[in-house]
Amino acid sequence: MKQRILFSLAVALAAVLVNWLILGDSSPLHEYFLRHESGIEDFWLALNVIPVLLAALVSRNPGGGDEFVYMISLFSQWFTAALVVSFFLFRFAGRVFIKR
């Protein structure tokens, strides 16, 4: 269980870092993806539509939500998704690499 939680923490922290790199105003890649029309920014926002909507609902501002609520819900979303994936991943890896 400890390995699953550490894996989920690592994935959730990586998602927050990727979010800052893609969308952050102080990021070294700020507006890079807009000028090069790669679609990565739109794809990332589509993956994270639930945290965006949750932040807008909590802040009661349809134009955009609170950044802190967005980051907490983004972390929670990716932590939960990684926890579910780690259940299957570690179960499969245990059968392949550990001989009984």
pTM of structure? 0.78
- Residues 51, 35: Cα–Cα separation, whole Å: 25
The per-residue pLDDT for 42 is: 80
Instruction: Report the candidate in 98, 62, 100, 91 with the shortest Cα–Cα distance to residue 4.
Output: 91
* Cα–Cα distance, 82 to 46 (Å, whole number): 18
How high is the pLDDT of residue 21? Answer: 85
Which residues are within 8 A (CB) of 2 and not within 5 positions of it... i.e. 6 or more apart? none
Give 55-73 pLDDT, tens digit per residue: 888 887 776 677 888 899 9
Per 3-state DSSP, the chain is made up of helix, strand and coil in percentages (nearest 5) of 75, 0, 25
Q: Using one digit for the tens of pLDDT, what is the confidence trace for 10-56?
A: 999 999 999 988 888 787 777 776 666 777 778 888 898 899 888 88
Is the model's pLDDT at 98 over the cut of 70?
no
Structural domain boundaries in the chain: 2-21+38-95
